[in-house]
Chains A and B, each alone.
Chain A
Amino acid sequence: MSSRRMRLGLALAAGLLAVLGAVAASSSVGAQPISISAALAGVEPDRSILLGLRVPRALLAAVVGCGLAAAGTALQALLRNPLAEPFVLGVSGGAALGGSLVLLAAASLGGLPTGAGAVLGGAPPVAAGAVAGALLATVLVFGLGRIGDRLVPEAALLVGIVFNSFVAGVITLLKMLVPPEQASRLTYWLVGAIGYESGATAALGATLVALAVGALVALSARLNLLTLGDEEAASLGLDVRRVRALVFFAASAATGAAVALAGMVGFVGLIVPHIVRRVVGPDHRVLVPAAALFGAAFLVLADALARLAFRPLGTEPPVGAVTAFLGGPFFLWQLRRARGGEGSA
């Protein structure tokens, strides 16, 4: 439909503007007041603060938000339930566990003279661990969320919640086993803070997120069919198992990369797709790219809000706290609405 093309064009334009606006807004606020025009004119230290710290951080938040929102949109289609989300389903938890285990392995090898620990503690292995953990968690949740041969969304959500508690327990245990310095590094990572990653880490994470979101956009017409249910999708010509496996993989990769960059940032994949769906409608060919862009803008703004809100306390602000603060009540509100009739059949 030409109306769909128009919606897609409008949604993408609005999404790009939102990302640019959010990055600009986020870059102009912080502990140290700076002048953007001075920074762009090359005046120090404004220039270093803007281009060396704030813009990279905002872009990092954008990458994380983009990955989480796209993954949430895809998981909601797979589960046919608007409550599905990487954090709630335990996919983020699996990624955190995978990354933590790699970091722990790195710490235990750190004493060796070969430098194996340093290599393993670097960005690629931790990201790989996070992606593998996310994938395993997805397979586990969707495998155990079945009654007989049928995927039961409520059961899958419950499995995800239980898996989250399990992961939290294991990670607590890991923190007690590693040296205090490693434990605090782990804590700071997992709390969901957008830090100042090295260029290599950020580039790796951004590439992974871009590939995964690109795959989800390519699969978006098939996601529409998946929302109909397995048998209907199959009778409309979809190879359900193969497409579902591809969506699992892409959503897990996006989540894993986001967790590797920023730890556990919850509810972005719940709030953003929901609001975007209300505006652009349920067609995933518009919804997936629009949610990815607005997810990016959302997390950039949430991170800016975190930095402002926590400034009086004089502490490093985790954006995960802000999204949890917004997302928890939002989840409960959605749960009530879903029970009220609209949600799943």
Chain B
Amino acid sequence: MTAPAPEPRWPDPIVEARGASFAYGAAPALRDVSFSARAGEFVGLLGPNGAGKSTLVRLVAGLLAPAAGTVRLAGLDPFAAPRRTVARVCALVPQEPRIAWPFTVREAVMMGRAPRQGLLAMPSRFDRGAVEGALAACDLVHLADRRLDALSGGERRRVFFARALAQEPRVLLLDEPTAFLDLGHQVAAMHMATVAARGGLCVVAVLHDLNLAAAACDRVVVLSGGRVVAEGAPAAVLTADRVREVWGVPVWRGENGATGAAVVLPALERTP
């Protein structure tokens, strides 16, 4: 049993798309998108439904190939590179993880080690260490032997986050990490993503909650109609005008007095 090889130097930015386009059949989803993200950075992908956020994440993960333009992930073409190679640098936490088979929490997290294991996936010392570390980081140690179908929605989401951490990636892609979660679990999910970024990972998350994005992300990228329409610091990007323009709703835009983070509230009209 040898120690893992010393880490190679990763390109900076570690995620880079240039002029990337993609269409599902005849329906264009992304048009000429340029996007990059660096190690240690927490980037939020924002935009209305159908703007192309999840498609961009799939291009970066190599699950789809761009029709035009290029995508680079840690210097690799993620679609053409062997899946195992890609899975060692990039983990994807899906929006609604599927639980067809009732594995235990530990078994599910151990699957994150698959890209580093042999044919029968016999766990090594390093695999066990990574799994126990991920379980601890996601507060799952006490649930480790429970079956997935006996967990709440928030707990399941933590399991799939832990699986991604056990993958020991350099890039962590999160597809709506807060969807269907209550407020407490939403905050916990954003916290785990922030901790991962502070630990040196490049974290890219599709987000719908503008306030959570404004509070937690280092940078946000706004997509609309398959194009990047704005990017930069959340407070600079999320102006009242831009939100109204992109999402089509009038909003009240304020500021969190304590942190200075942007606060955006839809201006709902009360029907008498």
Residues of A within 8 A of B88 (CB): 237
For residues 237 through 268 of chain A, which have their beta carbon under 8 Å from a beta carbon of chain B?
A: 237-240
Q: How far is the CA of A161 from the CA of B104 in the complex (A)?
A: 33
Q: How far is the CA of A80 from the CA of B91 in the complex (A)?
A: 22
Contact with B along A210-243 (1 / 0, CB 8 A): 0000000010110011011101101111111000
- CB <8 Å contact, A225 and B114: yes
Q: How far is the CA of A29 from the CA of B117 in the complex (A)?
A: 48
Residues of A within 8 A of B84 (CB): 237, 239
- Say yes or no: is B86 at the interface (Cβ < 8 Å to chain A): yes
Q: How far is the CA of A86 from the CA of B178 in the complex (A)?
A: 40
- Say yes or no: is B102 at the interface (Cβ < 8 Å to chain A): yes
Give the residue name and chain of the B residue nearest to A342 (CB). Answer: B149
CB distance from B78 to the nearest CB of A (A): 10
Q: How far is the CA of A237 from the CA of B163 in the complex (A)?
A: 13
Give the residue name and chain of the B residue nearest to A218 (CB). Answer: B119
- Say yes or no: is A285 at the interface (Cβ < 8 Å to chain B): yes
Give the residue name and chain of the B residue nearest to A239 (CB). Answer: B83
CB distance from A276 to the nearest CB of B (A): 13
Which of B98, B112, B121 is A345 in contact with, Cβ under 8 Å? B98
- CB <8 Å contact, A239 and B111: no
Which of B87, B100, B111, B114 is A344 in contact with, Cβ under 8 Å? B100
Question: Known contacts A221-B114, A224-B111, A231-B94: does B99 contact A237 (CB below 8 Å)?
Answer: no
Question: Known contacts A228-B111, A229-B98: does B82 contact A235 (CB below 8 Å)?
Answer: no
Contact with A along B53-86 (1 / 0, CB 8 A): 0000010011100000000000000000011101
Q: How far is the CA of A193 from the CA of B136 in the complex (A)?
A: 55
- Say yes or no: is B92 at the interface (Cβ < 8 Å to chain A): yes
- Say yes or no: is B120 at the interface (Cβ < 8 Å to chain A): yes
- Say yes or no: is B167 at the interface (Cβ < 8 Å to chain A): yes
Give the residue name and chain of the A residue nearest to B145 (CB). Answer: A3
Residues of B within 8 A of A138 (CB): none
Residues of A within 8 A of B112 (CB): 236
CB distance from B144 to the nearest CB of A (A): 11
For residues 69 through 104 of chain A, which have their beta carbon under 8 Å from a beta carbon of chain B?
A: 77, 80-81
Q: How far is the CA of A218 from the CA of B122 in the complex (A)?
A: 12
Contact with B along A25-69 (1 / 0, CB 8 A): 000000000000000000000000000000000000000000000
Size bin of chain B's contact surface: 35 or more
CB distance from A224 to the nearest CB of B (A): 7
- Say yes or no: is B200 at the interface (Cβ < 8 Å to chain A): no
Q: How far is the CA of A235 from the CA of B86 in the complex (A)?
A: 8
- Say yes or no: is A283 at the interface (Cβ < 8 Å to chain B): yes
- Say yes or no: is A1 at the interface (Cβ < 8 Å to chain B): yes
- Count of CB-CB pairs between chains A and B under 8 Å: 84
Residues of B within 8 A of A231 (CB): 58, 63, 92, 94
Q: How far is the CA of A232 from the CA of B117 in the complex (A)?
A: 17
Q: How far is the CA of A232 from the CA of B99 in the complex (A)?
A: 11
- Say yes or no: is A282 at the interface (Cβ < 8 Å to chain B): yes
Give the residue name and chain of the A residue nearest to B94 (CB). Answer: A232
Give the residue name and chain of the A residue nearest to B87 (CB). Answer: A237
Residues of A within 8 A of B102 (CB): 281-282
- CB <8 Å contact, A237 and B115: yes
For residues 142 through 194 of chain A, which have their beta carbon under 8 Å from a beta carbon of chain B?
A: none
- CB <8 Å contact, B97 and A238: no
Q: How far is the CA of A224 from the CA of B109 in the complex (A)?
A: 12
- CB <8 Å contact, B123 and A1: yes
CB distance from A175 to the nearest CB of B (A): 40
Q: How far is the CA of A12 from the CA of B59 in the complex (A)?
A: 43
Give the residue name and chain of the B residue nearest to A229 (CB). Answer: B98
Q: How far is the CA of A1 from the CA of B62 in the complex (A)?
A: 31
- CB <8 Å contact, B121 and A285: yes
Residues of B within 8 A of A227 (CB): 100-101
Question: Known contacts A1-B123, A225-B114: does B100 contact A235 (CB below 8 Å)?
Answer: no
- Say yes or no: is B107 at the interface (Cβ < 8 Å to chain A): yes
- CB <8 Å contact, A221 and B149: no
- Say yes or no: is B103 at the interface (Cβ < 8 Å to chain A): yes
- CB <8 Å contact, B86 and A282: no
CB distance from A4 to the nearest CB of B (A): 8
- Say yes or no: is B38 at the interface (Cβ < 8 Å to chain A): no
Q: How far is the CA of A81 from the CA of B101 in the complex (A)?
A: 9
CB distance from B90 to the nearest CB of A (A): 8
Give the residue name and chain of the B residue nearest to A242 (CB). Answer: B83
Question: Known contacts A221-B114, A283-B103: does B98 contact A232 (CB below 8 Å)?
Answer: yes
- CB <8 Å contact, B100 and A237: no
- CB <8 Å contact, A238 and B83: yes
Q: How far is the CA of A227 from the CA of B117 in the complex (A)?
A: 18
For residues 111 through 154 of chain B, which have their beta carbon under 8 Å from a beta carbon of chain A?
A: 111-112, 114-115, 117, 119-121, 123, 149
Residues of A within 8 A of B61 (CB): 235
- CB <8 Å contact, B111 and A282: no
17 residue pairs A–B, Cβ–Cβ below 8 Å: A80-B100, A81-B100, A221-B120, A221-B121, A224-B101, A224-B111, A231-B92, A234-B63, A234-B83, A235-B92, A236-B87, A236-B111, A237-B83, A237-B84, A238-B114, A239-B84, A285-B120
Residues of A within 8 A of B (CB): 1, 77, 80-81, 218, 220-221, 224-225, 227-229, 231-232, 234-240, 281-283, 285, 342-345
Minimum-distance CB pairs A-B, first 5 = A237-B87, A237-B115, A221-B121, A235-B92, A237-B84
User: Given known contacts A218-B120, A345-B98, what 7 new A-B pairs fall within 8 Å (CB)?
Assistant: A231-B63, A235-B63, A235-B87, A235-B91, A238-B114, A239-B82, A342-B149
